Amino acid sequence: MKIGIIVGSTRPGRRSILVAEWVKAIADSRQEHDFILLDLLDYDLPHLNEEIPAAMGHPYGHGHTRAWSESVASCDGFIIVTPEYNHSIPGVLKDALDYLFSEWHNKAIGFVGYGLLGGSRAVEHLRTISAELMLADVRAQVALSLFTDFVDMELLNPGDHHVATANQMLDQLLSWSSALRQLRDTSTDSLSFVEA
Protein backbone atom coordinates (compact mmCIF):
# COMPACT_ATOMS: atom_id res chain seq x y z
CA MET A 1 0.00 0.00 0.00
CA LYS A 2 0.97 3.63 -0.47
CA ILE A 3 0.60 5.91 2.54
CA GLY A 4 0.94 9.67 2.29
CA ILE A 5 2.47 11.52 5.24
CA ILE A 6 1.02 15.02 5.02
CA VAL A 7 3.28 17.78 6.33
CA GLY A 8 0.60 20.04 7.76
CA SER A 9 2.40 23.37 8.15
CA THR A 10 4.11 25.73 5.72
CA ARG A 11 5.10 28.28 8.35
CA PRO A 12 8.73 29.52 8.30
CA GLY A 13 10.68 27.69 11.00
CA ARG A 14 8.09 24.91 11.08
CA ARG A 15 8.88 21.75 12.99
CA SER A 16 6.41 19.62 11.06
CA ILE A 17 8.98 18.57 8.46
CA LEU A 18 11.25 17.23 11.23
CA VAL A 19 8.35 15.33 12.76
CA ALA A 20 7.21 13.99 9.38
CA GLU A 21 10.71 12.74 8.56
CA TRP A 22 10.88 11.04 11.97
CA VAL A 23 7.53 9.31 11.30
CA LYS A 24 8.69 8.26 7.83
CA ALA A 25 11.90 6.76 9.23
CA ILE A 26 9.84 4.60 11.59
CA ALA A 27 7.37 3.67 8.86
CA ASP A 28 10.03 2.81 6.29
CA SER A 29 10.99 -0.26 8.32
CA ARG A 30 7.80 -1.78 6.89
CA GLN A 31 9.35 -2.39 3.50
CA GLU A 32 6.29 -4.04 2.01
CA HIS A 33 4.57 -0.64 1.94
CA ASP A 34 5.45 2.70 0.36
CA PHE A 35 5.46 5.82 2.55
CA ILE A 36 5.77 9.20 0.84
CA LEU A 37 5.93 12.76 2.15
CA LEU A 38 3.18 15.06 0.90
CA ASP A 39 4.65 18.43 1.87
CA LEU A 40 2.10 21.21 1.45
CA LEU A 41 4.98 23.56 0.61
CA ASP A 42 5.48 21.60 -2.61
CA TYR A 43 1.91 22.17 -3.82
CA ASP A 44 1.68 25.95 -3.40
CA LEU A 45 -2.05 25.85 -2.73
CA PRO A 46 -3.46 29.37 -2.38
CA HIS A 47 -6.40 30.12 -0.13
CA LEU A 48 -9.15 27.90 -1.52
CA ASN A 49 -9.84 29.29 -4.98
CA GLU A 50 -11.86 26.62 -6.79
CA GLU A 51 -15.15 28.06 -8.02
CA ILE A 52 -17.01 24.75 -7.71
CA PRO A 53 -16.94 22.95 -4.33
CA ALA A 54 -15.05 19.66 -4.48
CA ALA A 55 -18.15 17.75 -3.30
CA MET A 56 -19.85 18.75 -6.54
CA GLY A 57 -17.33 16.75 -8.55
CA HIS A 58 -14.64 17.42 -11.12
CA PRO A 59 -13.16 18.96 -13.22
CA TYR A 60 -10.94 21.22 -11.18
CA GLY A 61 -10.22 24.66 -12.55
CA HIS A 62 -6.60 25.04 -11.49
CA GLY A 63 -3.38 23.12 -12.05
CA HIS A 64 -2.41 23.25 -8.38
CA THR A 65 -5.67 21.51 -7.47
CA ARG A 66 -5.17 18.83 -10.11
CA ALA A 67 -1.62 18.15 -8.89
CA TRP A 68 -2.83 17.85 -5.27
CA SER A 69 -5.74 15.67 -6.38
CA GLU A 70 -3.46 13.24 -8.22
CA SER A 71 -1.14 12.87 -5.23
CA VAL A 72 -3.96 12.30 -2.75
CA ALA A 73 -5.89 9.95 -5.05
CA SER A 74 -2.80 7.77 -5.48
CA CYS A 75 -2.62 6.98 -1.75
CA ASP A 76 -4.36 4.21 0.17
CA GLY A 77 -4.16 6.01 3.51
CA PHE A 78 -2.66 9.00 5.27
CA ILE A 79 -0.82 10.24 8.32
CA ILE A 80 -1.24 13.93 9.08
CA VAL A 81 1.51 15.69 11.00
CA THR A 82 0.05 18.84 12.53
CA PRO A 83 1.01 21.55 14.96
CA GLU A 84 -1.65 23.11 17.13
CA TYR A 85 -2.43 26.76 16.43
CA ASN A 86 -4.88 28.41 18.85
CA HIS A 87 -6.54 25.09 19.78
CA SER A 88 -6.90 24.01 16.13
CA ILE A 89 -5.08 23.16 12.91
CA PRO A 90 -3.17 25.47 10.54
CA GLY A 91 -5.35 27.20 7.95
CA VAL A 92 -3.20 25.83 5.12
CA LEU A 93 -3.98 22.29 6.26
CA LYS A 94 -7.71 22.95 6.44
CA ASP A 95 -7.60 24.40 2.92
CA ALA A 96 -5.64 21.38 1.64
CA LEU A 97 -8.32 19.06 3.01
CA ASP A 98 -11.15 21.20 1.63
CA TYR A 99 -9.68 21.39 -1.88
CA LEU A 100 -10.68 17.74 -2.45
CA PHE A 101 -13.53 15.40 -1.59
CA SER A 102 -13.89 12.01 -3.25
CA GLU A 103 -10.10 11.52 -3.26
CA TRP A 104 -10.25 11.09 0.52
CA HIS A 105 -13.16 8.61 0.63
CA ASN A 106 -12.84 5.15 2.19
CA LYS A 107 -9.25 5.54 3.28
CA ALA A 108 -7.72 5.33 6.74
CA ILE A 109 -5.96 8.19 8.50
CA GLY A 110 -3.71 8.52 11.52
CA PHE A 111 -2.41 11.58 13.32
CA VAL A 112 0.81 12.91 14.78
CA GLY A 113 0.35 16.16 16.69
CA TYR A 114 2.79 18.44 18.39
CA GLY A 115 2.49 21.54 20.52
CA LEU A 116 2.34 22.69 24.12
CA LEU A 117 -0.23 19.93 24.82
CA GLY A 118 0.91 17.48 22.15
CA GLY A 119 -1.37 18.90 19.47
CA SER A 120 -4.28 17.00 20.99
CA ARG A 121 -6.90 19.69 20.33
CA ALA A 122 -5.78 20.04 16.72
CA VAL A 123 -6.12 16.28 16.28
CA GLU A 124 -9.63 16.34 17.74
CA HIS A 125 -10.62 18.88 15.09
CA LEU A 126 -9.04 16.69 12.42
CA ARG A 127 -11.10 13.72 13.56
CA THR A 128 -14.31 15.71 13.00
CA ILE A 129 -13.15 16.90 9.58
CA SER A 130 -12.11 13.35 8.64
CA ALA A 131 -15.59 12.01 9.33
CA GLU A 132 -17.09 14.42 6.80
CA LEU A 133 -14.49 13.39 4.22
CA MET A 134 -15.26 9.68 4.77
CA LEU A 135 -11.81 9.06 6.20
CA ALA A 136 -11.61 6.35 8.87
CA ASP A 137 -9.48 7.70 11.72
CA VAL A 138 -7.54 5.21 13.83
CA ARG A 139 -7.49 5.43 17.61
CA ALA A 140 -3.74 5.51 18.32
CA GLN A 141 -2.10 8.91 17.89
CA VAL A 142 1.29 10.39 18.62
CA ALA A 143 1.29 13.52 20.80
CA LEU A 144 4.65 15.29 20.98
CA SER A 145 5.18 17.99 23.59
CA LEU A 146 7.22 21.07 22.75
CA PHE A 147 8.39 20.98 26.39
CA THR A 148 9.63 17.39 26.64
CA ASP A 149 10.09 16.08 23.08
CA PHE A 150 12.02 19.01 21.63
CA VAL A 151 15.28 20.63 22.71
CA ASP A 152 14.64 24.33 23.38
CA MET A 153 11.30 23.83 21.59
CA GLU A 154 13.20 23.57 18.31
CA LEU A 155 15.09 20.30 17.74
CA LEU A 156 13.08 17.09 17.78
CA ASN A 157 14.15 14.65 20.47
CA PRO A 158 11.14 12.42 21.19
CA GLY A 159 11.00 9.96 24.05
CA ASP A 160 11.36 6.29 23.16
CA HIS A 161 7.75 5.60 24.16
CA HIS A 162 6.61 7.64 21.15
CA VAL A 163 8.17 5.08 18.79
CA ALA A 164 5.94 2.38 20.29
CA THR A 165 2.88 4.62 19.90
CA ALA A 166 3.84 5.45 16.31
CA ASN A 167 4.11 1.75 15.51
CA GLN A 168 0.74 1.07 17.11
CA MET A 169 -0.77 3.84 14.98
CA LEU A 170 0.89 2.38 11.87
CA ASP A 171 -0.43 -1.11 12.68
CA GLN A 172 -3.98 0.23 12.92
CA LEU A 173 -3.60 2.44 9.85
CA LEU A 174 -2.28 -0.32 7.61
CA SER A 175 -4.87 -2.87 8.69
CA TRP A 176 -7.72 -0.41 8.16
CA SER A 177 -6.28 0.76 4.83
CA SER A 178 -6.18 -2.84 3.68
CA ALA A 179 -9.73 -3.54 4.89
CA LEU A 180 -11.06 -0.43 3.17
CA ARG A 181 -9.45 -1.33 -0.15
CA GLN A 182 -12.49 -3.40 -1.13
CA LEU A 183 -14.76 -0.40 -0.57
CA ARG A 184 -12.50 1.79 -2.69
CA ASP A 185 -12.52 -0.80 -5.47
CA THR A 186 -16.32 -1.13 -5.56
CA SER A 187 -17.69 2.25 -4.46
CA THR A 188 -19.31 4.82 -6.69
CA ASP A 189 -19.40 8.36 -5.38
CA SER A 190 -23.00 9.52 -5.54
CA LEU A 191 -22.00 13.13 -4.90
CA SER A 192 -19.60 13.42 -7.82
CA PHE A 193 -20.74 14.23 -11.29
CA VAL A 194 -19.44 12.25 -14.24
CA GLU A 195 -16.91 14.19 -16.28
CA ALA A 196 -17.92 14.89 -19.86
**Per-block mean pLDDT, blocks of 10 residues, the chain (196 long):** 97 96 97 97 96 90 96 98 97 98 97 97 98 98 97 94 98 97 74 40
**Domain count across the chain:** 1
Residue 164 located in a structural domain: yes
Q: Does 151 map to a domain?
A: yes
Task: Say what the pLDDT of residue 193 is.
Answer: 38
In this structure, is residue 118 part of a structural domain?
yes
Establish if 193 belongs to a structural domain: no
Is the residue at 195 inside a domain? no
Contact present, 45 and 92 (Cβ < 8 Å): yes
- Residue 35: give its domain's CATH number: 3.40.50.360
- Identify the domain containing residue 26 by its residue range: 2-186
Give me the pLDDT at residue 189, please. Answer: 53
pLDDT score, position 190: 44
Q: Outline where DSSP puts E strands in 44-182.
A: 77-83, 107-115, 135-145, 150-151, 155-156
Instruction: Note the Cα 123 to chain centre separation in Å.
Output: 11
For residue 106, tell me if it sits in a domain.
yes
Kind of pairing between the strands at 150-151 and 155-156: antiparallel
